[in-house]
């Protein structure tokens, strides 16, 4: 399916934190080593290599189809506006003047496997802890300006809640209610697992969220769990986007786009 196709992983990146793009590069390397695509590249909005330059990455004589997968947790401004604008995409399938087909895929956060990855991250963050005595908090950025930023976290919390494994499962946010800073008021469970619903262990997951929770920035490593805070045991995990199986989701989003385009 991908013998003459390329994969472009589109990320946010950061001008102030190199760790922001590290998972994207790691997933690209894993996919490249698997030999699934003829070529695998990354491009970013806030760092080099840029999204705009990515339009010229692929040799038109060798690469006839490019699959663009946004390495983003949710639909929103970047997936709906920035990436299509910078890559000059005009829909799910864009045909360039040179005949190349650019197929725009769904962001990784939309994939059903995300639920399993969140559960796996929760279990590895607090191994051996009784889920019936535990609240699971999935923390996203959130904003009062764009409801889309909260949709993915709400969806995943609902899916996990329906399984009935934990005492409670909540979607919480940095900038809208329910706020992660109020974590101790949202559940009475003696154990609290908090998983950052972010692509990378960047400024938000390493500094902002721990500060809101009450964890010293020097103690955010999972090896320091649990944290004794406000009479509870708090287990703080790594950002979900650092999970190695994200590479699998990226490939699956490309396969899904190929199937939809073929059916169309």
pLDDT tens string 125-155: 999 999 999 999 999 987 655 556 578 899 9
Q: Can you give the residue range of the structural domain that contains 116?
A: 110-241
Weakest mean pLDDT among 80-89, 117-126, 204-213? 204-213
Task: Give the β-pairing of 227-229 and 93-95.
Answer: unpaired
| Same-domain pairing of 92 and 174 | no
95 sits in which H/E element: strand 93-95
pLDDT of the residue at 262: 47
Total residues belonging to the chain: 264
Closest CA to 153 of 145, 141, 164, 165: 141
249 vs 115: CA distance, rounded Å: 12
| Same-domain pairing of 220 and 124 | yes
pLDDT of the residue at 16: 78
Domain count, the chain: 2
Whether 9 has a pLDDT exceeding 80, the answer reads: yes
**pTM recorded for the entire structure:** 0.90
| Confidence band of 64 (pLDDT split at 50, 70, 90) | very high
| Same-domain pairing of 102 and 27 | yes
213 vs 109: CA distance, rounded Å: 24
- What are 178-184's contacts with CB under 8 Å, separation 24+? 179/212, 180/137, 180/139, 180/209, 180/212, 180/213, 181/212, 181/213, 183/137, 183/213, 183/234, 184/229, 184/230, 184/231, 184/232
Question: CA angle, corner 233, sides to 174 and 121, nearest 5?
Answer: 65
| Same-domain pairing of 114 and 219 | yes
Residue % of the chain over a pLDDT of 70: 94
pLDDT of the residue at 223: 76
Weakest mean pLDDT among 9-18, 109-118, 167-176? 9-18
39 vs 31: CA distance, rounded Å: 10
């Amino acid at each position: 399916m991908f013998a003459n196709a390329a994969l472009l992983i589109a990320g946010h990146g950061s001008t102030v934190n190199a760790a922001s793009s590290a998972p994207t590069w790691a997933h690209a390397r894993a996919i490249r080593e698997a030999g699934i695509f003829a070529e695998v590249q990354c491009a970013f909005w806030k760092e080099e290599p840029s999204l705009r330059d990515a339009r010229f990455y692929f040799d038109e004589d060798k690469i006839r189809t490019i699959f663009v997968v946004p390495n983003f947790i949710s639909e929103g401004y970047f997936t709906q506006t920035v990436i299509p604008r910078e890559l000059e995409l005009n829909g799910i399938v864009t045909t360039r003047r040179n005949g190349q087909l650019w197929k725009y895929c769904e962001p990784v956060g939309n994939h059903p496997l995300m639920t399993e990855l969140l559960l796996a991250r929760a279990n590895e963050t607090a191994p051996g802890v009784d889920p019936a005595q535990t609240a699971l908090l999935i923390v996203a950025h959130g904003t009062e300006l764009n409801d889309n930023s909260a949709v993915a976290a709400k969806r995943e919390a609902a899916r996990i809640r329906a399984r009935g494994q934990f005492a409670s499962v909540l979607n919480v946010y940095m900038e809208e209610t329910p706020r992660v800073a109020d974590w101790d008021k949202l559940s009475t469970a003696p154990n609290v697992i908090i998983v950052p619903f972010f692509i990378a262990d960047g400024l938000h997951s390493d500094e902002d969220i721990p500060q809101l929770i009450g964890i010293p920035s020097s103690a955010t490593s999972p090896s320091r769990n649990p944290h004794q805070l406000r009479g509870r045991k708090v287990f703080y995990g790594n950002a979900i986007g650092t999970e190695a199986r994200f590479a699998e989701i990226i490939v699956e989003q490309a396969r899904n786009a190929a199937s939809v385009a073929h059916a169309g």
